[in-house]
């Protein structure tokens, strides 16, 4: 089913803004409320907007299933290997070896009420990004699968 | 008959939950030392201002790994249910 | 008694969810009941970690005051994601059953199987 021109135009205009907002939620996961799961859900809702506004055959041209599967698997692998990278340095699984004074995301935060500094928290922003990628892939795959199950009947 | 049994079962469960819940106090958590440790040390140990994210990705990271695996498995199962069969 | 009001709300919502699962014959409505039950579990976890006058456990330009417990909030995030995964799988099964039997009423499905 295809929605009217008004809905399609609104979806086209709103789509990039929702994407930017989702990435903002993911990147600022260690500073403000939010994180990988929440931002990934917002990004997946942008995909859902495209899927609802267009016909199934048109929308799977924009939201490709193989791409979403790749994002899902790649996010999970990135998450696992980020956690595993601490073991290469002789520390335990999930040890945050970048946090105090690392090269990337290594600023030392002052204890107590602090201002937002994006360059802190070590491995946590990387894991947030990995989980966000995984969530947007997984939710989009689920939505595409459910939609493909419906469209054969109607 | 089955309907009446369901209603009785629901009422029994609700009463049981209510009895359990009256023992809890709202506003004063019973066991807080672990969370106090997280709140005090999350900034110096993991560098994250958001304590919930520090718990989610640093202190209890294995939990999050399992959670991501659950989401992955759900997507896998949904795809398998709607796979294109060869015979139809 | 009035201080226990959030817990009573948890029990009420859980009761609504269980009653929906047990009494309704429509599979979609039963899945909705499971969603309500998940919501009551989330509310219970967040309620369990509340402190009087507490603020959210985030230090970015935080005001003075005690912070609410953080572990239960992390577990709530986990619970939301797992509830989503469960709902997606159950809806997929419901669509599959509808394709096979042409209905999502449990009575129809059982009669057709025999």
Tokens standing for residue A43: 């990004």
DSSP string computed for A10-29: HHHHHHHHHHHHHHHHHHTT
Contacts of B81 in chain A (CB under 8 A): 145, 149
Per-residue pLDDT band for C109 (boundaries 50, 70, 90) equals confident
pLDDT at A35: 83
What per-residue string of b and e applies to A21-34 under the rule 16 or more CB within 10 Å gives b?
Answer: ebeebbbbbbbbeb
> Which of C59, C77, C95 has the CB atom closest to A37's CB atom?
C77
> C15 and B10 in contact by Cβ < 8 A?
yes
Contacts of A131 in chain B (CB under 8 A): 57, 64, 68
Contacts of A145 in chain B (CB under 8 A): 75, 78-79, 81-82
**Could you give phi then psi for residue B50, rounded to 5 degrees?**
-90, 110
pLDDT at C41: 92
Backbone conformation region of residue B65, classed left if phi is above 0, alpha if psi is from -120 to 50, else beta: alpha
- Across the B:C interface, residue pairs with CB atoms under 8 Å apart total 128
Residue B71 forms contact with A (CB below 8 Å): yes
User: What's the rounded mean pLDDT across residues C73-101?
Assistant: 88
Place of tokens 């048109």: A58
- Across the A:C interface, residue pairs with CB atoms under 8 Å apart total 41
Q: Which residues contact C75 (CB under 8 A, 6 or more apart)?
A: B63, C45
User: What's the rounded mean pLDDT across residues B20-32?
Assistant: 79
Tokens standing for residue C36: 């309500």
Residue B77 forms contact with A (CB below 8 Å): no
Is the pLDDT confidence value at C52 over 70?
A: yes
pLDDT at B88: 47
Contacts of A80 in chain B (CB under 8 A): 65
pLDDT at A154: 42
Per-residue pLDDT band for B22 (boundaries 50, 70, 90) equals confident
Measured distance CA(C53)–CA(C61) in Å, rounded: 17
Neighbours of chain B (3+ CB pairs under 8 A): A, C
CA distance to A115, A153, B55, C13, per residue, from A134 (Å): 29, 30, 19, 32
pLDDT in tens, chain A (154 residues): 677 889 888 988 999 999 999 999 998 888 888 888 899 999 999 988 888 888 777 777 777 888 888 888 999 999 888 888 888 887 778 887 777 766 777 777 777 777 777 777 778 888 889 999 999 999 988 888 888 877 654 4
Question: What pLDDT digit, counting tens, does each position of B33-84 carry?
Answer: 888 888 888 887 777 888 888 888 888 888 888 888 999 999 988 888 887 7
Measured distance CA(C94)–CA(B15) in Å, rounded: 32
Is the pLDDT confidence value at C113 over 70?
A: no
Residue B15 half-sphere exposure toward CB, CA atoms < 13 A: 6
Name the more confident of B74 and C64.
B74
- Nearest C-alpha neighbor of A30 from the set B62, B38, B37, C58: C58
Question: What domains can be seen in chain C, in order of their start residue?
Answer: 2-113 (1.10.287.3510)
Q: At C56, is the secondary structure helix, strand, or coil?
A: coil
Asked if residues C61 and A115 have their Cβ atoms less than 8 Å apart, the reply is yes
- Please state, for a pLDDT cut of 90, what percent of chain C lies above it: 31
pLDDT at C38: 94
User: For residue A138, what is the nearest residue in chain C, using CA coordinates?
Assistant: C85
Name the more confident of C22 and A107.
C22
Tokens standing for residue A12: 């086209």
Q: Where are the domains of chain A?
A: 5-151
The CB density around residue C41, as the number of other CB atoms within 10 Å, is 18
Asked if residues C33 and C23 have their Cβ atoms less than 8 Å apart, the reply is no
Is the pLDDT confidence value at B85 over 80?
A: no
Residue A14 forms contact with C (CB below 8 Å): no
């Amino acid at each position: 089913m295809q929605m009217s021109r008004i809905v399609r135009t609104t979806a086209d205009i709103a789509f990039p803004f929702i994407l930017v907002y989702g990435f903002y939620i993911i990147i600022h996961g260690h500073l403000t409320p939010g994180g990988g799961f929440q931002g990934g859900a917002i990004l997946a809702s942008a995909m859902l907007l495209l899927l609802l506004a267009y016909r199934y055959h048109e929308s799977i041209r924009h939201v490709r299933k193989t791409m979403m599967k790749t994002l899902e698997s790649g996010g999970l692998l990135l998450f696992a290997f980020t956690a595993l990278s601490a073991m290469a340095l002789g520390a335990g699984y999930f040890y945050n070896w970048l946090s105090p004074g690392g090269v990337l995301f290594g600023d030392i935060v002052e204890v107590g009420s602090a201002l937002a500094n994006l360059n802190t928290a070590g491995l946590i922003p990387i894991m947030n990004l990995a989980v966000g990628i995984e969530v947007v892939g997984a939710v989009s795959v689920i939505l595409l699968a459910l939609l493909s199950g419906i469209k054969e009947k109607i | 008959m089955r309907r009446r049994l369901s209603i009785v079962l629901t009422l029994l469960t609700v009463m049981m939950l209510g009895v359990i819940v009256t023992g809890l106090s709202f506003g004063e958590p019973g066991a807080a030392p672990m969370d106090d440790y997280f709140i005090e040390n999350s900034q110096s140990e993991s560098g994250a201002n958001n304590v919930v994210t520090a718990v989610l990705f640093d202190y209890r990271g294995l939990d999050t790994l399992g959670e991501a695996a659950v989401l992955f498995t759900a997507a896998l199962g949904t795809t398998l249910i709607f796979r294109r069969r060869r015979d139809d | 008694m009035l201080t226990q009001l959030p817990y009573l709300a948890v029990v009420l919502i859980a009761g609504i969810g269980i009653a929906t699962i047990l009494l309704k014959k429509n599979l979609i409505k039963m899945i909705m009941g499971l969603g309500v039950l998940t919501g009551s579990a989330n509310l219970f976890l967040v309620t369990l970690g509340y402190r009087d006058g507490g603020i959210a456990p985030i230090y970015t330009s935080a005001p003075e005051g005690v912070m609410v417990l953080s572990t239960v909030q992390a577990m709530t995030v986990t619970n939301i994601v797992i509830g989503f995964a469960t709902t997606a799988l159950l809806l997929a099964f419901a669509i599959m059953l509808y394709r096979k039997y042409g209905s999502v009423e449990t009575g129809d499905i059982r009669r057709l199987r025999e």
